[in-house]
Amino acid sequence: MKNDILKDTTLIFDLDGTLVDTAPDLIATLNHVLSSIDCAAAPETHIRPFISFGARRMIVEGLALGGVSLSDPETDALFDAFLDHYASNIAVASAPYPNLHSALDSATEGGARLGVCTNKREDLSLRLLRELKLHDRFRTVVGRDTLDVCKPHPRHLTEAIARAGGDVARSIMIGDSPTDVKTARAAGIPVVAVSFGYSEVPSAELGADVVIDDYSQLMDVLPRVLNK
């Protein structure tokens, strides 16, 4: 790939399941709070597809699996306990996906601007990225509560592009879920899906322009996506 192919291009990444495998710490936190109410631990294989829907959905699924019924206030309390524990254990076992660093290096060297658009809370997103020494890679991090809208609303993505100093006409979304693809389509930009994330829909059925199985493939597919 020519070194200048990404000049003036903005790449906006989802976070959980796209940049970072956060499942180990999220599921450990889930099982920590479930144990506090004597609910059986939820296996990772069951919970993993629900991570992209957020902590509350993980809790609901874990409770259902354990046969425990809670009132809304009790679920709210469990959710608050989840966030407190997770904030203190956000990067115990979470890690960037293989070959991510080299892909980000190549994109930056090629002139691309990088940003994050995630439905994870902004403070938690920043904490995670700092703990993993990824924060300085990105010009902006736009979280669930940064704006008055979040994905799949297209303004969540277009504002992330703007804050990164980019142009919607020269931008690409990289994500792992139907929500990411829907957001990109609504914003009118192409989207690359990763197959290693948390989607309950098979990656080939997400409707992305391209699917990659490893970040070593990213730089090879970007010219094709940009030319669409």
Query: For residue 16, what is the DSSP state?
Result: B
The residue among 56, 3, 33, 54 whose CA lies nearest residue 223 is: 3
| Nearest alpha carbon to residue 189 among 8, 11, 54 | 11
Catalytic (active site) residue 220: no
Going by C-alpha positions, the residue among 10, 26, 9, 16 that lies closest to residue 144 is 16
Q: Nearest CA to 190 among 226, 138, 160, 154?
A: 226
Given 14, 16, 21, 180, the catalytic residue? 14
Separate counts of helices (H) and strands (E) for the chain = 9, 8
Amino acid, single-letter form, for residue 135: H
Neighbours of 166 (CB within 10 A): 24
Which SS3 state, helix, strand or coil, does residue 63 take? helix
Tell me how crowded residue 120 is: count the other CB atoms within 10 A of its CB: 25
Rounded to an integer, what distance in angstroms lies between the CA atom of residue 87 and that of residue 97? 21
Cα–Cα dist 226/4, whole Å: 13
- Positions marked active-site: 14
